[in-house]
Amino acid sequence: MLKNVAALLLDEIHPFELGVVCEVFGLDRSEDGLPVYDFAVVSAEGPVLRTHAGFSISTPYGLDRLEEADLIAVPAGSHFIDREYPQEALDALRRAVERGARVLSVCSGSFVLGAAGLLDGRRCTTHWRHSDELARRFPKARVEPDVLYVDEGSVITSAGTAAGIDAALHLVRQAHGPAVANAIARRMVVPPHRDGGQAQYIKRPLPRTPCDTVGDTLAWMERHLDEEMTVEQLAAQTHMSPRTFARRFQQETGTTPYRWLLRQRVLLAQHLLESSDETMDMIAGQTGFGNAAALRHQFVRALGTTPQAYRRTFRGPAGLTEAA
């Protein structure tokens, strides 16, 4: 049962990510018939902590308060990616998991869990900007950069900022059922569950190859995304056999011609959804997907959300033209 919750803070804490944990678990909503948690903010580095926003937070609670928590949340903070963490705090997190408590990280708080060894052998996530570094620093972790949160039982990790709300409501839903999670979400004026993942927020310009063996072909492909093209046709442009072309393409771009082309088409679709009022069929034609159904299928596979939902998120109601 989820009753006792503690937020573990380190210096240079981010107020928003802390606020997420306080909003979900730290408010008394008993007048609405909702559960009330025994909630505390715990400092790992003295009674007064700085925030990255320029003000300070004080708390009377030290690390001993973690020993009775059912859930310990670790919000993000500045320099969490490349700093050292108090050994006592890491030990407390490990003990919590060993005795059956759960730990939750928000954004870069995942690096604290990694330093405690709690990500080893587990799937996990963090803000998309830091996912590569998380994988580099903790090679035993199985980093999933495209999701909003990952629940691995005793260890829950969430992506950047607002994804902490998704993960926290997920924990409430598990402990108390969907009605309670929905009621808390309604009070917070947020969706109780968001479809998709953080892939739709990631900026992924495809890297330019330092070699120019297929450089001209890449430029031609970008100019003709609306056209059908085969490896045989592309190979002919570079005066290579299809097999040699495919091998060179893989060497210089790190992917196959089909995957490169698909990613460019999705990128163009994202741009058109953000910046134009074109219908889904028009966008499908301009991006080489042919029709709205094919566009939707590939868009969902690549980004975990529909074209219409993407347009709603990044353009708002003025950009809605038809359902997808």
Q: Which two tokens stand for residue 257?
A: 């011609």
Instruction: Measure CA 133 to chain center.
Output: 14
Using a 10 angstrom Cβ sphere, with 0-12 exposed, 13-18 middle and 19 or more buried, the burial of residue 48 is exposed
Catalytic residue among 22, 107, 124, 211: 107
Q: Is 107 known to be catalytic?
A: yes
Query: What secondary structure, in 3-state letters, does 33-90 show?
Result: CCCCCEEEEEECCCCEEEECCCCEEECCECHHHHHHCCEEEECCECCCCCCCCCHHHH
CA distances from 147 to 8, 101, 126, 183 (A): 23, 23, 9, 24
Closest CA to 12 of 109, 106, 77: 77
CA distance 20 to 18: 5
Specify the pairing of strand 4-9 against strand 38-43.
parallel
Closest CA to 9 of 55, 57, 53, 54: 57
Q: What SS3 state is found at 184?
A: helix
Residues serving a catalytic function are 107
